[in-house]
Amino acid sequence: MSDTSRLNFIALLPPDDICDRVTAFKQEIASRYDSRKALNSPPHVTLQPPFEWEPSEADALDTVLSEFAAYQAPVPIALEGFGAFPPKVLFVHVEKTPDLLAIQPELYDTLKERLGITARNRYPTFEPHVTIALRDLSISAFDRAWPQFRDRPFSAEFVVPKLTRLEHDGTRWQVAAQFEFSLTEFDE
C-alpha cells in the first residue's frame, strides 16, 4: 500500500435497527471472548472485499459506483441464524437470494473493467455474511463461543436501498459514500 492509498470496500448496510441488533452480538463477543476487531466496522454484507485506492481518485471510484447503483434495484436481504468459518470467524448468516447473488459478480466485473480493481475475497465463492467475530477471536474462545451462537435464533428481513463505500481511517472503517439504487421493478 502506498503512503497515500487507503483501504476501501463496498458493502450493503442493514437499516439502523438491524445494525443495533447485530452490534449487540459483536459487543457480546467482545466482552465475553475478548474479540473486538468486528466492532471496527458497521454491520455489513461485503460485496467487494478491501482494496487499495488513492484518496485523490475517490471521485472516479464514486462515479463508477454511482453509475452502477443507478442501474440496480434495492436489494432484499434475509438474515437467518448464525454461521462460522472455523477456527476464528463467527457471523450472522445471510440467505443467498437471487438478487444478492446477481449483484455481487456484476459489481466485481464493473470495478475490474472500469477501474482495474481485482481484490478477491479469501473464500473461493461468494459467501454473504455479517461478521460478528473476526480473526482476533482465539481458537479456544471460538470453541466456547460457537456453541453459544450455533443454534441461537435470529432472523431479520429488510431491503437495502443503497450501495456503500467504506474507507479505513487507520483505526476503523468509516462510511465514505453511499449510492442510491435507482432501478425500480417498472424500469426493467
pTM score of the predicted model: 0.93
Domain assignment present for 120: yes
Domain assignment present for 1: no
Domain assignment present for 128: yes
Domain assignment present for 188: no
Helices then strands, counting H and E runs in the chain, come out as 4, 8
Q: What is the mean predicted confidence (pLDDT) over 104-131?
A: 88
Domain assignment present for 72: yes
The total number of structural domains that make up the chain = 1
**CATH, residue 49:** 3.90.1140.10
Q: Residues 91, 119, 175, 63: what is their CA dihedral angle, to the nearest 10 degrees?
A: -140
Q: Is the pLDDT of residue 84 over 50?
A: yes
Q: Is the pLDDT of residue 121 over 70?
A: no
Task: With cut-offs at 50, 70 and 90, classify the pLDDT of residue 2.
Answer: low
pLDDT in tens, 170-184: 999 999 999 999 987
Domain assignment present for 187: no
Domain assignment present for 78: yes
pLDDT at 181: 97
pLDDT at 4: 83
125 or 62, greater pLDDT: 62
Q: Give the three-state DSSP class for 8.
A: strand
Q: Give the domain range for residue 117.
A: 6-180
Q: What is the mean predicted confidence (pLDDT) over 84-94?
A: 96
Residues 6+ apart with CB under 8 A from 71: 182, 183
pLDDT in tens, 63-81: 999 999 999 999 999 999 9
pLDDT at 3: 64
Q: What is the mean predicted confidence (pLDDT) over 135-153?
A: 96
Q: Is the pLDDT of residue 20 over 80?
A: yes
Question: How far is Cα 84 from Cα 133, in angstroms, rounded to an integer?
Answer: 9
pLDDT at 123: 61
HSE-up of 133 (CA within 13 Å, CB side)?
31
Q: What is the mean predicted confidence (pLDDT) over 11-22?
A: 98
Domain assignment present for 19: yes
pLDDT at 184: 74
With 0-12 / 13-18 / 19 or more C-beta atoms within 10 angstroms meaning exposed / middle / buried, residue 16 is exposed
